[in-house]
Each structure stands twice: as C-alpha cells, then as structure tokens.
Amino acid sequence: MKIQKWLVNAAAALLFAGASAAAMAVDCAGGVIQDTIVDSIEINGEPCLIVGVRVRNGVRVDNSPALMMVENDVGDGVLVTNSAFVGIVNTRISNLSLIVLASGQVAIKDNDVKDGSIRVNGNVSANVNRNDAERDIVCLNNGDLDAFLNHASGEDECFDLF
C-alpha cells in the first residue's frame, strides 16, 4: 500500500512539473540556450546566444545588450526590440514574421520565413542579406543599410540606395 501511494504521488508530481514547465517561457539567465526544444523564449535585458534550438511558439526579445541566434527552427515568429546588437543567421521561421525594431547593429542573414515577412525598421545599422520570405521583406528608417540577394514572394522593399 505504501508503494502504491508513493507511486501515485510521484506520478502526480511529474505530471504537475511537466505541465508547469510546458506553459512557461524559457529565458536566457545562463547566457546560452543550445540544442533543445522549448515552447517559447522571452528575453528582457539579458544577452543571449541561441543555437540549434527548436522553438514551438515564438521568440520575444527586448532590451538585450547582445542577441545571437544561429541555426534555429522557430514556430511563431521572432520579435526583437531596443537591443544593442542583434544577429539572426540561418534560422527558419514557420509562421508569422521576423521583426527587428529600434535596435543598434543588426545582421539578418540566410534566414527562411515560410509564412510571414521580414521587417527591419528604425535600427542604427542593418545588414539584411540572402533571406527568403513568403510575404514581404521591408527595411525602413535604418541609419545605415546593407541589403542584397533577398527574395520575397510579395514585395521586396529592402535594398541599398547607393
């Protein structure tokens, strides 16, 4: 009887822990998120390196001193605002958009946005190169823009004005 009660309590604890972990967004308190699967990522004020991660939902970043995302698979979009350095490279986004707003130095390279757009607006400088987007690629009001070899099925409004 004691073993049955212990097993029931242990199973309940595992189920409760699994349910609460699945509902919570991962932050980047350790500075690196690597080779894992998470529901979502929310970063506020932390530097972060995200490599080889499958994000079921979305990534939201605000006020990061440095964000680097390399070779990730994101389900529901990436939104980065007010961050000093942003590098997003070779990342696939299945749904929604890749958006970087009001940040410092931005590098958006070799990304694939399946059912959305890429928007890089109001940044100090932006390199937006070799990206594919199902809808649009738009770069507006960036202080210095280097953009080439982007492809959008909709409008491509991301190019240098020599």
Chunked into runs of 10 residues, the chain (162 residues) has average pLDDT values of 43 39 77 97 98 98 98 97 98 97 98 97 97 96 94 86 54
Pair type for strands 156-157 and 137-140? parallel
pLDDT of residue 20: 39
Cα separation, 88 vs 86, in Å, equals 7
Listing DSSP states for 22-64 in one string gives HHSPB--TTSEEES-EES-EEEES--EEEES-EESS-EEEES-
27/61 Cα distance (integer angstroms) = 10
Amino acid at 97: S
**Nearest CA to 88 among 115, 61, 57?**
61
Model pLDDT, residue 161: 58
Q: What is the pTM of this model?
A: 0.84
Q: How many C-alpha atoms does 68 have within 13 Å on its Cβ side?
A: 7
As given in the structure block, the two tokens for residue 55 are 């994000």
Both structure tokens of 150: 């982007």
Among the listed residues 89, 156, 152, 81, the one whose alpha carbon sits nearest the alpha carbon of residue 123:
81
What are the tokens at 99? 């958006």
What pLDDT is attached to residue 155? Answer: 87
Residues 23 and 8: beta-carbon distance below 8 Å: no
